[in-house]
Structure 1
Amino acid sequence: MEDMVEGWRDERGDVPGWVLITLMTAGLVATVWALAGPALGDLFLSALDSVTGG
């Protein structure tokens, strides 16, 4: 039991890997969205206009 407590104390200040992966993924998505969002919106509207004949 004491080994478990010592192991837990060693990792107390560490940020879990899944937290870092989640934050980095969210940052990448936000960056791509900010850069490509307007262009993708224009592409979508253009495609919609060509389908509706407008």
Structure 2
Amino acid sequence: MSRALVKFSTLTARCRNRLHQERGDVPGWVLITLMTAGLVLLLWGVAGDTLVQIFKSSMERVGIIGK
């Protein structure tokens, strides 16, 4: 029983240390966020008027169904 308790506490200490050392991939997430924002801006610049028209048309159809 004593050996199992020692192994368990050693394992939990290792896990705790590992979790505190994990910092994540911050530059990767920043890059993904910037690339996504760039794609949204590019899409909006190319097809902004069409997207607005599609949105307005969809909202009008939903309004008709709701009445």
TM bracket (short chain): 0.3 to 0.5
Report the TM-score, using the length of structure 2 for normalisation: 0.40
Report the TM-score, using the length of structure 1 for normalisation: 0.44
Which of 1 and 2 has greater Rg?
2
Would you tell me which structure has more helix in proportion to its own residues? 2
